[in-house]
């Protein structure tokens, strides 16, 4: 297994990781990056902190460590937590392979996410999932209760309605996106691959819409038994708030925190508030 520290330092074996990352903290960014073979794919991940509570950050659709989680990797408490962020297979720097949006892609991501954490040597861990990453986290938690400490999901939905599908159709053509939204993705994928992959994502959700109740993961929600925090931005234009209320109702013992000014990217726009909220929940 290889692990790279940003800044060019290369570490060969796992026994070196903790010591070397800790030693580098005073000199440079303490975020290390590495690759781990998971179910046939070289999965890219970043890692920071040395706390005994391990946490995996799961990005949104086509998202990646680099585009989605900078403020969390920078500022989540490094003494309490060991924070890992991954690029799911086919996203970001976990390419090749090319991303395939088969009907079971969330289940595959959930298995790969859990297998990554196991391969990195974590026994029990928490999941923090944004949007599509939230759905992946819900499925992973439902299927692996013995491995879960806690989960946090935000901007997530367990099913799609016709209203949701209309929203997705409205953003199918990425040439209509603002440069601010489009550029980071085009930097990761190149313009042509990004446009094509995004359309494939929209097509896949249109297929989910044909399932009973438009389910993405409704049936697994009752299997979630770990403490669950749902966060939702009340001004989220792409995932309406009723989705968060549905999750609250269908996940035992879960709680919902609404952010009145939050949109879909609330963890980036209100990073300090978000990080504090999540840390408090994870530490309880």
Reply yes or no on whether 53 is catalytic: no
Cis peptide before 96 (omega within 30 of 0): yes
Reply yes or no on whether 267 is catalytic: no
Q: What is the 3-state secondary structure (H, E, C) of 215-272?
A: ECCHHHHHHCCCCEEEEEECCCCCCCCHHHHHHHHHCCCCEEEEECCCCCCHHHHCHH
Distance CA 39, CA 108 (A): 10
Q: Which is nearer to ligand TYC, 239 or 244 (CB)?
A: 239
Q: Which is nearer to ligand TYC, 49 or 60 (CB)?
A: 60
Q: Which residues in the 123-142 window bind ligand TYC by CB under 6 A?
A: 131-132
Residues pairing with 148 in the sheet: 125
1 binds ligand TYC (CB under 6 A): no
Distance CA 271, CA 234 (A): 16
Distance CA 98, CA 236 (A): 29
Q: Distances from the Cα of 26 to the Cαs of 31, 34, 47, 101, 265, in angstroms?
A: 12, 20, 16, 42, 30
Shortest separation between residue 121's beta carbon and ligand TYC, angstroms: 28
Reply yes or no on whether 264 is catalytic: yes
Distance CA 182, CA 245 (A): 30
Q: Which residues in the 188-217 window bind ligand TYC by CB under 6 A?
A: none
Q: Which is nearer to ligand TYC, 46 or 132 (CB)?
A: 132
Q: Which is nearer to ligand TYC, 81 or 270 (CB)?
A: 270
Shortest separation between residue 269's beta carbon and ligand TYC, angstroms: 14
Near ligand TYC by CB under 6 A: residue from 239, 244, 247, 282? 239
Selecting among 30, 64, 94, 131, the annotated active-site residue is: 131
151 binds ligand TYC (CB under 6 A): no
Residues that bind ligand TYC (CB under 6 A): 60-61, 131-132, 168, 171, 238-239, 264
Catalytically annotated residues: 131, 236, 264
């Amino acid at each position: 297994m290889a692990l790279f520290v940003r800044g060019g330092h290369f570490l060969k074996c796992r026994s070196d990781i903790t010591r070397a990352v800790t030693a580098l903290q005073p000199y440079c960014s303490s975020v290390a990056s590495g690759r781990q073979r998971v179910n046939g794919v070289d999965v890219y991940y970043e890692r920071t902190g040395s706390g005994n509570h391990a946490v995996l950050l799961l990005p949104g659709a086509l998202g990646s460590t680099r585009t989605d989680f900078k403020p969390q990797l920078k500022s989540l408490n490094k003494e309490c937590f060991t924070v890992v962020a991954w690029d799911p297979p086919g996203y970001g720097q976990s390419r090749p392979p090319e991303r395939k949006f088969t009907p079971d892609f969330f289940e595959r991501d959930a298995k790969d996410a859990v297998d990554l954490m196991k391969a990195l040597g974590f026994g029990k861990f928490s999941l923090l999932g944004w949007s599509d990453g939230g759905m992946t986290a819900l499925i992973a938690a439902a299927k692996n209760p013995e491995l879960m400490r806690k989960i946090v999901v935000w901007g997530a939905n367990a099913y799609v309605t016709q209203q949701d599908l209309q929203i997705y159709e409205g953003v199918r053509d990425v040439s209509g996106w603002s440069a601010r939204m489009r550029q980071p993705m085009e930097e990761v994928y190149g313009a042509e691959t990004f446009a094509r992959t995004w359309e494939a994502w929209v097509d896949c959700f249109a297929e989910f819409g044909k399932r009973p109740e438009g389910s993405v993961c409704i049936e697994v929600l009752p299997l979630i038994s770990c403490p669950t925090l749902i966060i939702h931005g009340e001004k989220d234009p792409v995932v309406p708030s009723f989705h968060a209320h549905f999750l609250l109702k269908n996940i035992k013992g879960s709680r919902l925190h609404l952010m009145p000014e939050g949109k879909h990217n609330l963890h980036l726009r209100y990073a300090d508030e978000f990080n504090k909220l999540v840390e408090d929940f994870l530490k309880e």
